[in-house]
Amino acid sequence: MCGIIGIVGTRPVAERLIDSLKRLEYRGYDSAGVASVEAGRLERRRAAGKIRALEEVLREQPLGGTTGIGHTRWATHGGPSERNAHPHIAGRVAVVHNGIIENFAELKRELADAGHVFESDTDSEVIAHLIDAELNAGLEPVAALKAALDRLEGAYAIGVLIRGEDELVMGARRGSPLVVGYGQGEMFIGSDALAVGPFTNRIAYLDEGDYVAIDHDKALIFDAAGAPASRPVRVVAASAALVEKGNYRHFMEKEIHEQPDSCQHTLSAYVDPIERRAAPPHGFDFAGIERLQIVACGTASYAGLIGKYLFERLADLPVDVEVASEFRYRDPALRAGTLALAISQSGETADTLAALRWCKTHGLTTAAVVNAHESTMAREVDVLWPTHAGPEIGVASTKAFTAQVSVLAALAVAAARQRGRIDAAEEARLVGVLLEAPRLLAEALSAEEAIQALVQDVAKARDVLYLGRGAMYPLALEGALKLKEISYIHAEGYAAGELKHGPIALVDEQTPVIIIAPSDAAFEKTASNMSEVIARGGRVILITDPAGAAHAPEGSRVITAPACDELIAPLVFAAPIQLLAYHVAVQKGADVDQPRNLAKSVTVE
């Protein structure tokens, strides 16, 4: 994730920007830059590499002013270089950006046709040109920002400086976090409480779609519709900022809502948005293997099951998925040409580690999809595919799960290309689909109120069934696990087609049946399962997209997620099942972040 800081201050701004950027290094980056305004001038300093390279530039060419913005960049569009480092400048406007602008190519063409000259390969630069064009059209700064934001598709957090406005910094967020810091006669914006921690511990968290203008004394906040808004100011101990809950009641809630950002950050390490191709780290060649053996536990094993559907359908690569605790003790008949792939948030789960080591001793090449990049698994495998979800504190895995699925989806596209199953055009299309996932995840999360309306119904149940077909079947297993592990309600996930082979005996008026069914090829078959349930007095909660909702059977309750390509449906539809489990657990007064009997990492067999 990129890091953002903005300051309207009373002291020299350069070293303060650097101080803040150093606190954002944990987010990972490959270049950095700052800009400031002073006496009608807008100046910028940038450097590839670490912040000390930028400090060297500032020693040689000091930056004046008390108002400025800064950025640490994790390269998405365009390689890590000074030219692509933020801030980006167009005319009077300097911008720093965290996120992915999905429609940047068409915006760039439109602006270039209008005479704008671009200097970088990034998507972010179009934001500066859009705002500058609106200023030139006569709009005031805040109106120019809003007009530009209305043109953007994708996830973003941004900071903006305007030449001649020496006491103004503007910001906006959609899908990536941004906070406002309240100082004494000075104001701040930043990616999180840590970014503004050196200057203040009074923080307001912007909501989805908010944009803001700060000067020395105040923040003018506007909501997505452009109406003035106020956000509560909280006191946050900067030291705890990295693992603090922000505006959320639980880490799990915060981590559910971080998923557009963590998904985007993970995907940016696995796809090249300019060339529109899958570009996983390590460059493993899937054409050189005959089979993939996935070993994992719990939620990670359900991510692996989703991977099976994706690898087999896209890459024609046979995949076995097995819970690690069973795999190792049954003397599996493995063959050469099999890649052993562990999936783990912690990288320390004893069952998974033991299974991985078993594969290694039997001569297999080993790989791991891991969130803890220095963990035992990460250090022992031949091939490391990291997720970039950031620290996951809640015991119930959420953002790590969608990050795992993001990696597996990108790897499946890369494997399909390497194994000659798709051409460059189809690869480009699928990469475009992956790049939509952060925005669609954010949209899926906006169904939270509709989900809360169903909570009573589920919270009083003794048993709950989750049903799904295709890649929605592993998601049904994950939804059941989420519910049972944090609300202690017995829940089971089934392949929807299995209902009539036994589980339908459980269906009565007391049993909510949660059916995860986008309007895909399997929808019609699942619709008949829904009718079977309703005919027996069962209570159906259908999680679907708008087209599916239009065909929801009489008597079913519907949660609508955005329509999306089947490649990313497991990502987008993870949001409602996580939110449902979370709000039921809150309703039941459960200890959401530390459920009874559970540990975040099970380091014993």
> Applying CB under 6 A, which residues contact ligand AGP?
297-300, 344-346, 349, 352, 395-397, 485, 601-602
> Could you tell me the CA-to-CA distances from 53 to 47, 48, 49, 512 in Å, in that order?
6, 7, 6, 58
> Could you tell me the CA-to-CA distances from 553 to 449, 515, 523 in Å, in that order?
22, 12, 12
Rounded Cα–Cα distance for residues 376 and 283 (Å): 22
Rounded Cα–Cα distance for residues 341 and 307 (Å): 11
What tokens appear for 231 in the block? Answer: 């956000």
Rounded Cα–Cα distance for residues 488 and 362 (Å): 39
Rounded Cα–Cα distance for residues 477 and 493 (Å): 4
Which is nearest to 394 in space by CA: 179, 243, 546, 291? 243
**What is the DSSP code (8-state) at residue 421?**
S
Which is nearest to 28 in space by CA: 266, 276, 271, 368? 266
Closest approach, Cβ 458 to ligand AGP, in A, equals 18
Rounded Cα–Cα distance for residues 14 and 96 (Å): 15
Please name the residue that has the structure tokens 């679907």. Answer: 544
Which is nearest to 487 in space by CA: 577, 595, 399? 595
Exposed, middle or buried: residue 303 (CB in 10 Å: 0-12, 13-18, 19+)? buried
**CA pseudo-torsion sign 163, 164, 169, 174:** negative
Output 63 or 395, the one with its CB closest to ligand AGP: 395
How many CA atoms, within 13 angstroms, populate the side-chain half-sphere of residue 104? 27
Q: What is the largest CA-CA distance in the chain?
A: 77
What tokens appear for 121 in the block? Answer: 């390969």
**What is the DSSP code (8-state) at residue 457?**
H
Output 9 or 298, the one with its CB closest to ligand AGP: 298
Output 152 or 592, the one with its CB closest to ligand AGP: 592
What tokens appear for 365 in the block? Answer: 């090449």
**Count of beta carbons in the 10 Å neighbourhood of residue 107:** 21
Task: Tell me which H or E stretch contains 204.
Answer: strand 202-205
Q: Which residues neighbour 361 within 8 Å (Cβ) at sequence distance 6 or greater?
A: none
Rounded Cα–Cα distance for residues 437 and 407 (Å): 12
**Count of beta carbons in the 10 Å neighbourhood of residue 249:** 12
Which is nearest to 369 in space by CA: 395, 416, 401, 338? 401
Closest approach, Cβ 304 to ligand AGP, in A, equals 10
Closest approach, Cβ 411 to ligand AGP, in A, equals 17
What tokens appear for 500 in the block? Answer: 């009539």
Output 124 or 387, the one with its CB closest to ligand AGP: 387
**Distance from the Cα of residue 432 to its chain's centroid:** 16
Output 81 or 601, the one with its CB closest to ligand AGP: 601
User: Could you write out the DSSP letters of every residue in 104-160?
Assistant: HHHHHHHHHHTT----SS-STHHHHHHHHHHHHTT--HHHHHHHHHTT--EEEEEEE
In one letter, which amino acid is 139? L
Query: What is the chain's alpha carbon radius of gyration, rounded to the nearest angstrom?
Result: 24
Residues labelled catalytic: 2, 600
Output 210 or 348, the one with its CB closest to ligand AGP: 348
